[in-house]
Structure 1
Amino acid sequence: MTMTARIIRLDDAARAPLMRGVDLVADLATTAIGPAGRAVLAGRNHTGPAMMRGGHAISQEVEVDDPGCRAGVAAMRQVAWRTSDAVGDGTCTAILIARGILREGMTALRAGISPGELEQALRAHGEAIASELRASSRPAVGYGELVDLAVRAAGGDTVIGTLAAEAHRRTGREGVVIVTEGQGAEDDLEVRPGLHFDEGWLSPHFATDAEAGTADLENPLILLHHGPIERLGPLLRVLEMMAEAGRSLLICAGGFGAEALGTLIVNKQRAGLKVVAVKAPGAGLWRMPMLEDIAAATGATVIADAFGTSLDRLRPAALGRAESVRVTRDGMTLIGGAGDPDTIALRRNAIRLDIERERHLSFDREQHRQRLARLSAGVAKLHVGGQSETVIRQRTARAAAASAAIRAAPGGLVPGGSAALLHAGRLARKSLPAGLAGRLVGRVFDAALGAPTEAIMANAGLDGRAIRHRLAEDANVDGFDVERRVFVPGEMILDPAEVLIAALRTGVSAGTTLFGVGASVAECV
């Protein structure tokens, strides 16, 4: 039997390499934070270098050999991932807060307080600060504030910030903006009205405009089938009725057998049948909810074995209706569905509950958001261009940050930017516990909450410590404009409250978990 050797470290010997890993990621995040932050260059063996600015992207690039150091890197990577997953931005802020809590928490433990007592006090005070942040927030006023917010989140890039704000304006509050890397030098904003899915026709022979490659159906009937359709026998009566009435038909199914598809194409070409066959959107478990979304929007009934329905017993009432449908090679869009408004409203509420319940899988949550957007406002795709792959990636990251800031804006905006953390910390001092624990907790948070502001100022060549001290202690000073290099009213620098609260909670959670480490066990490499 082969035994694997392990490295065992105790006390400071265990905490020191952990702290080195945390410092490694936090120092890189410090470089990138704020309007004057610089990119972190990540070299690649077989492709061009990548320019990283977000804490999540930066942490993913850090790899070290020492197992203790590797644990610290992994912890900061988890902090960045959880913050990005929750609000899409604020990852550098979360990393710096986590390091501040960890470093000062380790110092506080030397004063004789137990790790459990200190952890409990820090978590409770963190929630008090979060409450002060929420209390100081206010709703966004007008489209102009959202543009300013997006531009700031995009690192001062006016073009990207304005484009992201326009995408959100056109899709509405419950719409979805998907930011992707473009293929050329130009940016492109594509807003899809109605119910859109990325599933196109199964054959170009269904196109009504061969040159454009589009199939347009006016006032069509809509058949939704969960499984594959292998033969058209059960549909013949429906097809005959449809042809007699001069109606068009969209068939959306999990698949089509060669015989069924060929018969539809022949009947369209020779008999003039107005029909288009598309594959049902979604894969696996996602297919049924997406078909049910279409059913709610169009008044159709999904034909599926699970529901006890089949094509053999198909009735005209099971077919949905819409004002028009456009199908291309890449997707289909349904406009003016005839679904019952109350049924659609219930469907939206059910999806909202799905979003709230899905706390762990970001992919599933995003799928639910897109479903809600299709039934509510629409989906916008922002294709970000540039002169090179490196530039495109850099601008795409900025656009994603701008979009995340706008998406978090409904939770309220707080004045002062990162200085809002300092103001909230000052206001929350009244809730500190008495005695030694209160003094230690106050010191920990003074350092942790000031770390983002100090780094932002230092990146601009300013005295970060002096500016942080004045913002923290002077109740008459709300914010500092890095670009203009002057103290300004906090209303001139607004940040989404949800982003700062998420960064605070994630940082406090990680920091308080790690400073209780008393030993480590790792495999020898």
Structure 2
Amino acid sequence: MPSTRTVIAGVAAIAGTTQAFAPVASHQQAVGAGTSTWTQCRAPSCSAGTRRRRATVSMAAKKVSFGEDSRKKLVDGINQVANAVKVTLGPKGRNVVLERNYGAPEIVNDGVTIARDISLADPEENVGARLVQEVAQKSDNRAGDGTTTSTLMTQSIVNNGLRAVTSGANPVEVRRGIMKASEMLVAEIKALAKPVSGISDLNSIATIASGSSVMGSIISQAFEKVGENGSTVVEESQTLVDEVDFTEGLTIDRGYLSPYFVNDQERQVCEMRKPRILVTDKKIDQVNELIPILETMVKSKEPLFIVAEDVAGEALSALVVNKMRGVLDVCAIRAPSFGDRRKAYLQDIAIATGATYIAEEVGLTLDQVNMDMLGTCERLVAQRELTTIVTDGSQMEAVNKRIAAIKQEKEGTDNQFDIEKCEERIAALGGGIARIKVGAATETELKDKKLRYEDALNSVRSALEMGIVPGGGACMTYLQRMDERIMAECANEDERIGAGILLKSLSAPCMQIAANAGVEGGVVWEKTRNQEFGFGYNAANGRYGDLLEMGVIDPAKVTINAIENSASVAALVLTTEALITEIPVKLSPAEEQAQYDAMGGGNYM
């Protein structure tokens, strides 16, 4: 019988592969097309005379408005967006219908979706609309909910602030007063917030955010199953009912590199029990790099799972042939993602499985690998496009430290893509994914339900992060009794005016929720403003009482973001002294054609 080395090393000759290379792109593809004037291409590989088009840029005329005129136009735009958005607030909020150029109209109850869809004909008013869109988007990015409340408060602060500035108040001092009050209110909310106590709190938050007890129950079940660090995602279903699927373990969106690794033909998966795991950032294409560790694994008779940048050429052929001959139970996948993010994912996998990360940057190469550097897990299932690793829990302390580090990385960035990737990594390490599959009879209903689920999911995440406060606008109404403390911190009368403007805006959510329920908002506010913390109006059933006990609660993070974002943007509007917008120009048919050509629609000469 041949030696192990003979079997492994001889595979390249048995199953050699040929590398195919993609042809180099033509010069025309490389330099681009579709602009209006010819210029010399200066690429070293280009022959003299090779040319490409370049667009001619023209400057549009601008309109400049000053002082009160500029602020009034901004406020008009803000009011139009806010009036459309605020009707959706609360359990009895109304819907808004959005026209689409193609397909059926969309019926939504989501503040940020409505705000994003608005574009006003007047350029100056449209600037105001875009400012409100920024408020809503910031609240959505940071907390995932509270967009309608943020928009409503922005409207209140801007309108009351504009009246104060018009009456002679110094806008800079007014702005300073608004920001001082905002900081003190946020600190008070953090002190008042209560931690989430159990599944009932999660159910209440999700029910309020989605407006549906069924959705709330599904979301709370999902979070109970996967935990705080798990991932819950919303997907479309082909059925008419909503369902939840759970996936245990660390999930990698890469599958086996060869179908010959499959050991369960019926399910078309490669399943391993207690495999040893090699994690490296190296591209492995030579079998000699793997021979030492393969010989060790053959002797130990344990399965081997490889996660690398790539496994190709004779190295992959060697693994496949040894698998088919029964010499070694092995499987390999490519590492997920790209660049530095790929390295981070590989390190996550190494930590979760107890493996040593093999990379030249840490001074380790494949020929140095021994059994102590290999990780392990309880069970592993590699599919065609997905791999799930169920760990044995032995690395929990290291995993928790890694999750904490990723959370810090997430807090340190405002880039939405980076935030999403950090959340994916946390979910993968957290050990579970819940997929909520949304069913509906029509496309319009499906879109609306997906938005509601996403709002509710974000609210639950925010509550787990910073705790909960009474909902229904009750927390903000309670904060209005801080007026004396806040005023004492203001340096002058104009600052006190600014602080008072923000304090007054705190009544807007309570009053609007009541108005949307068909009740006089001023009456509700009067009945609740001097009560104990937590007392408020439950618009769902028309009763007054302790909203915390009734399950009418909001994430503290949502309330904080609503105050911070609305105060920030509204204060900037009040200090605006000039507004510059483009004057719309009606193009002739010939000019429209020229613009089309300049953007890539023209033909090459």
TM-score, normalisation: structure 1? 0.93
1:153 aligns with 2:153: no
**What corresponds to 1:125 in structure 2?**
181
Of 572, 579, 603, the match for 1:520: 579
Cα distance in 2, alignment partners of residues 305 and 338 from structure 1: 28
Please state whether the residue corresponding to 1:461 is helix, strand or coil: coil
Please state whether the residue corresponding to 2:391 is helix, strand or coil: strand
**What corresponds to 1:409 in structure 2?**
463
Of 531, 536, 542, the match for 1:485: 542
1:67 aligns with 2:123: yes
**What corresponds to 2:344 in structure 1?**
289
Cα distance in 2, alignment partners of residues 193 and 283 from structure 1: 25
Matched residue pairs, number? Answer: 523
Please state whether the residue corresponding to 2:271 is helix, strand or coil: strand
Question: Does the CA-based 8 Å contact 1:17-1:72 persist in structure 2?
Answer: yes
Cα distance in 2, alignment partners of residues 521 and 42 from structure 1: 29
Cα distance in 1, alignment partners of residues 207 and 333 from structure 2: 40
**What corresponds to 2:387 in structure 1?**
332
Question: Does the CA-based 8 Å contact 1:132-1:427 persist in structure 2?
Answer: no
**What corresponds to 2:516 in structure 1?**
459
**What corresponds to 1:206 in structure 2?**
261
Question: Does the CA-based 8 Å contact 2:176-2:495 persist in structure 1?
Answer: no
Residue 478 of structure 2 aligns to which amino acid in structure 1?
A: H
Q: 1:98 to 1:300 in 2, by over 3 A?
A: same
**What corresponds to 2:553 in structure 1?**
494
Mean Cα deviation higher: 161-170 or 183-192: 183-192
Question: Does the CA-based 8 Å contact 1:297-1:337 persist in structure 2?
Answer: no
Please state whether the residue corresponding to 1:520 is helix, strand or coil: strand
Please state whether the residue corresponding to 1:213 is helix, strand or coil: coil
Q: 1:349 to 1:136 in 2, by over 3 A?
A: closer
**What corresponds to 1:449 in structure 2?**
506
Of 277, 280, 287, the match for 1:225: 280
**What corresponds to 2:5 in structure 1?**
none
Question: Does the CA-based 8 Å contact 1:230-1:257 persist in structure 2?
Answer: yes
Cα distance in 2, alignment partners of residues 145 and 342 from structure 1: 28
Cα distance in 2, alignment partners of residues 18 and 94 from structure 1: 17
- CA shift, 1:215, in A, is 1.1
Question: Does the CA-based 8 Å contact 1:230-1:259 persist in structure 2?
Answer: yes
- What pairs with 1:200-349 in structure 2 (closer than 5 Å)? 200-271=255-326, 273-337=328-392, 340-349=395-404
Please state whether the residue corresponding to 2:264 is helix, strand or coil: coil
Cα distance in 1, alignment partners of residues 502 and 293 from structure 2: 70
- CA shift, 1:113, in A, is 2.1
Please state whether the residue corresponding to 1:140 is helix, strand or coil: coil
Residue 201 of structure 1 aligns to which amino acid in structure 2?
A: Y
Cα distance in 1, alignment partners of residues 58 and 198 from structure 2: 67
Q: 1:342 to 1:160 in 2, by over 3 A?
A: closer
Mean Cα deviation higher: 439-448 or 324-333: 439-448
Mean Cα deviation higher: 34-43 or 433-442: 433-442
Mean Cα deviation higher: 445-454 or 478-487: 445-454
Q: 1:505 to 1:303 in 2, by over 3 A?
A: same
Please state whether the residue corresponding to 2:378 is helix, strand or coil: strand
Residue 456 of structure 1 aligns to which amino acid in structure 2?
A: I
- CA shift, 1:272, in A, is 5.2
Please state whether the residue corresponding to 2:97 is helix, strand or coil: strand
Residue 464 of structure 1 aligns to which amino acid in structure 2?
A: G
Cα distance in 1, alignment partners of residues 560 and 544 from structure 2: 24
Residue 141 of structure 1 aligns to which amino acid in structure 2?
A: S
Mean Cα deviation higher: 117-126 or 430-439: 430-439
1:5 aligns with 2:64: no
Please state whether the residue corresponding to 2:142 is helix, strand or coil: helix
- CA shift, 1:513, in A, is 0.9
Q: 1:428 to 1:132 in 2, by over 3 A?
A: farther
The structure having more radius of gyration, on CA atoms, is 2
- CA shift, 1:221, in A, is 1.2
1:390 aligns with 2:444: yes
Cα distance in 2, alignment partners of residues 142 and 284 from structure 1: 40
**What corresponds to 1:165 in structure 2?**
220
Question: Does the CA-based 8 Å contact 1:296-1:339 persist in structure 2?
Answer: no
Question: Does the CA-based 8 Å contact 1:26-1:99 persist in structure 2?
Answer: yes
Of 76, 90, 100, the match for 1:20: 76
Question: Does the CA-based 8 Å contact 2:68-2:166 persist in structure 1?
Answer: no
Of 556, 559, 562, the match for 1:503: 562
- CA shift, 1:37, in A, is 1.4
Q: 1:456 to 1:346 in 2, by over 3 A?
A: closer
Q: 1:420 to 1:223 in 2, by over 3 A?
A: same
Cα distance in 2, alignment partners of residues 457 and 38 from structure 1: 12
Cα distance in 1, alignment partners of residues 59 and 224 from structure 2: 61
**What corresponds to 1:470 in structure 2?**
527
Mean Cα deviation higher: 196-205 or 25-34: 196-205
Please state whether the residue corresponding to 1:211 is helix, strand or coil: coil
Cα distance in 2, alignment partners of residues 442 and 235 from structure 1: 69
Question: Does the CA-based 8 Å contact 1:251-1:277 persist in structure 2?
Answer: yes
**What corresponds to 2:108 in structure 1?**
52
Cα distance in 2, alignment partners of residues 441 and 162 from structure 1: 42
Cα distance in 1, alignment partners of residues 317 and 113 from structure 2: 48
- Two-structure CA RMSD over aligned residues (Å): 2.3
- CA shift, 1:308, in A, is 3.2
- CA shift, 1:119, in A, is 0.6
Question: Does the CA-based 8 Å contact 1:481-1:487 persist in structure 2?
Answer: yes
Residue 104 of structure 1 aligns to which amino acid in structure 2?
A: N
Please state whether the residue corresponding to 1:487 is helix, strand or coil: strand
**What corresponds to 2:27 in structure 1?**
none
Cα distance in 2, alignment partners of residues 504 and 40 from structure 1: 25
Please state whether the residue corresponding to 1:149 is helix, strand or coil: helix
Please state whether the residue corresponding to 2:281 is helix, strand or coil: strand
Please state whether the residue corresponding to 1:432 is helix, strand or coil: helix
- CA shift, 1:476, in A, is 9.1
Cα distance in 1, alignment partners of residues 308 and 471 from structure 2: 53
Question: Does the CA-based 8 Å contact 2:538-2:547 persist in structure 1?
Answer: no
Please state whether the residue corresponding to 2:377 is helix, strand or coil: strand
1:143 aligns with 2:199: yes
1:375 aligns with 2:432: no
- CA shift, 1:55, in A, is 1.9
Q: 1:345 to 1:450 in 2, by over 3 A?
A: closer
- CA shift digits 1:460-498 (9 cap, x unpaired): 222123223333355699211112222222322222222
**What corresponds to 1:103 in structure 2?**
159
- CA shift, 1:456, in A, is 1.6
**What corresponds to 2:35 in structure 1?**
none
Residue 299 of structure 2 aligns to which amino acid in structure 1?
A: E
Question: Does the CA-based 8 Å contact 2:472-2:509 persist in structure 1?
Answer: no
Residue 313 of structure 1 aligns to which amino acid in structure 2?
A: Q
Question: Does the CA-based 8 Å contact 1:422-1:472 persist in structure 2?
Answer: yes
Residue 546 of structure 2 aligns to which amino acid in structure 1?
A: P
- CA shift, 1:423, in A, is 1.1
Please state whether the residue corresponding to 1:47 is helix, strand or coil: coil
- CA shift, 1:443, in A, is 4.5
Cα distance in 2, alignment partners of residues 341 and 401 from structure 1: 31
